Amino acid sequence: MTKEVKPKINLAVYWGAACGGCCVSVLDVHESLFTVTEHANLVFWPIALDIKYKDVESMPDGFIDVTLFNGAVRNSENEHMAKLLRKKTKILVAYGSCAHMGGIPGLANFSNREGIFNRVYLESESTSNPEKVFPQQHHKVSEGVLELPEFHNDVKTLNQVVNVDYYLPGCPPQTERLVEVFLAIVSKTDLPPAGSVVGALDKSQCDECKRKKSDNKLVKVFKRPWQIKDDGVTCFIEQGVICMGPATRGGCGVRCVEGNAPCRGCYGPPSDVTDPGLKMMSAIATMIDSNDSAEIEKTIETIDDPAGTFYRYSLPGSILRRKVL
C-alpha cells in the first residue's frame, strides 16, 4: 500500500429515538477506532464528545463530511436535529434499523400520542394520576419555564424527514460492516450510487442460513417458537415457525437463527423489495399447504400478529406506515 497523506474527513454521530445500541456498536470498533481517528476528526458525538447543539449550528453548511444518524424520528428535537445535520453534512447515513425503517420504536405507529400517553401516564398498573397530569411542552414553575420537546403522533424514518445518502441496516449494524463502509467512504472508492443500502448483502438471510431446507416448505399450521421442539438444524419455516429470513437482507451472519431464534427482519428487505411484510406475505402464500378457502383461512388464523411480526422493524418505512385510527 502506498502511503499518501489524505486530508482527514469530519465525522459526526447522532442519535434520534434510539436505544444506544447503535452508538455502542460504533464504540465497539475498539482497535479499529484508531483506523477511524486516523482518517477522521470526530466533530460531533453527544455521547462521547463535549460539543453542543449550538456548535453544530455555527458550523458552515457541508462542514461535516459524514454523519451517522441512528434512531428514529419520534419528537420535535429529533426532527430539528435531523434537518440541521442534513444541512451541515455532505454524506448523511441512516445508521441502524431505527433510522433506516423506524425500527422497534416504530411499532408505536400502531397507536398515537394519545394512546401512548394514556397508557403510560394514566392507565399503567402502577401509576396513580387522578389529576390527569401529562408532560407539557412548556411548564411554568415558580422559578421559570421548563421546556420539553413535542412528542409527535407517529414515528418517522430518517428519510421521511430529510434526504438520506446511504442506509446501513441492522439493529445494531455489525461493527465490521461499519468499518468497511467507513473505509470505502474515506477512500472514496467503491461507493454505490446515493440512496443505496450499504454494509449488507443483496440476497436474503436464507441464502446465508445454515439450517437445512428442502424444496417442500409446506405448512398447515403455523406455530409459535415455544410450540415446537426446535431440532436446531431444520429451517424454522419448515418446522412451522414464522421466520423473516426470506424477506430480509443478509449481512448479519444470521445471528438470531444461530442463537436458535427465528429472524425478525432487522436488516430490512433485500434490494429488489420495498415492503418487507408484503414480500413475506407473498412468500408465505406459496408455503400454505392447501387450495381450499376455508382451510387456508384456518391456517392463516394460526399466524398471530402478522403486522407486528412482518413489520417488526419496519412499520414506519412500510407502504401503509401506520395503523389507520
Partner 1 sequence: MNENPKIIAFLCNWCSYTGADLAGTSRMKYASYVRVIRVMCSGRVDPTFVIKSFQEGADGVLICGCHPGDCHYHEGNYKCLRRFHLLQKYIKQMGIQPERLRLEWISASEGREFSELVNEFSESIKALEPSQIKESIETFS
Partner 2 sequence: MKQYTIDPITRLEGHGKVEIFCTDDGDVENVYFQVPELRGFEKFLEGRPVEEASQIVTKICGVCPGCHHMAAGKATDAVFGVKPTPTAVKLRELFYMAHFVHSHIAHFYALAAPDFVVGPTAPAAERNVLGVIAKVGVETGTEVLKQRRIAQEIQALLGGHQTHVVMNTPGGVRKGLTEEQRKDIELKAKGFVEFARFSLKVFNDVVLANKTYVDIILNGPYSLNLYSMGLVDENNKVNFYDGKVRVTDQDGKEHCKYSPHDYRNWLEERVEPYSYLKYPFLKQIGWKGFVEGKDSGVYHATPLSRLNAADGMATPLAQEQYEFMYKTLGGKPVHATLAMHWARLVELLYSAERALELAQDKEITGTDIQAELPNVPREGVGIVEAQRGTLTHHYLTDEKGIITKANIIVGTTNNNAAISMSLKKAAQGLIKKGVTVDDGILNMVEMAFRAYDPCFSCATHSLPGNMPLEVIFRNSKGDITRQVKRR
- The residue (of 66 and 96) whose beta carbon lies closer to ligand SF4 is 96
246: partner contacted, choices partner 1, partner 2, ligand SF4, none (Cβ within 5-8 A by kind): ligand SF4
**Torsion-angle region of residue 247: left (phi > 0), alpha (psi -120 to 50) or beta?**
alpha
Q: What is the DSSP letter of 225?
A: G
Cis previous bond, 192, omega within 30: no
Residue 110 found at the interface with partner 2 (CB under 8 A) = yes
CA distance 106 to 28: 25
Give the one residue of 34, 41, 127, 221 binding partner 2; rule: CB under 8 A.
127
CA distance 90 to 80: 17
Residues 250-269 that bind ligand SF4 (CB under 6 A): 252, 254-257, 262-267
Q: What is the DSSP letter of 292?
A: -
211: partner contacted, choices ligand SF4, partner 1, partner 2, none (Cβ within 5-8 A by kind): ligand SF4
**Is residue 187 within a helix (H) or strand (E), and if so which, with residue range?**
helix 175-187
- The residue (of 63 and 110) whose beta carbon lies closer to partner 2 is 110
CA distance 141 to 305: 44
Shortest distance, position 252 Cβ to partner 1, whole Å: 25
Residue 151 found at the interface with partner 2 (CB under 8 A) = yes
CA–CA distance from 201 to each of 90, 198, 243 (Å)?
25, 8, 18
Give the one residue of 8, 57, 83, 116 binding partner 2; rule: CB under 8 A.
116
E strands of 60-114, at which residues? 64-70, 73-75, 89-95
Residue 111 found at the interface with partner 2 (CB under 8 A) = yes
146: partner contacted, choices ligand SF4, partner 2, partner 1, none (Cβ within 5-8 A by kind): partner 2
- The residue (of 44 and 165) whose beta carbon lies closer to partner 2 is 44
Residues that bind ligand SF4 (CB under 6 A): 18-19, 21-22, 70-71, 96-98, 103-104, 171-172, 205-206, 209, 211, 213, 235-237, 243, 245-246, 248, 252, 254-257, 262-267
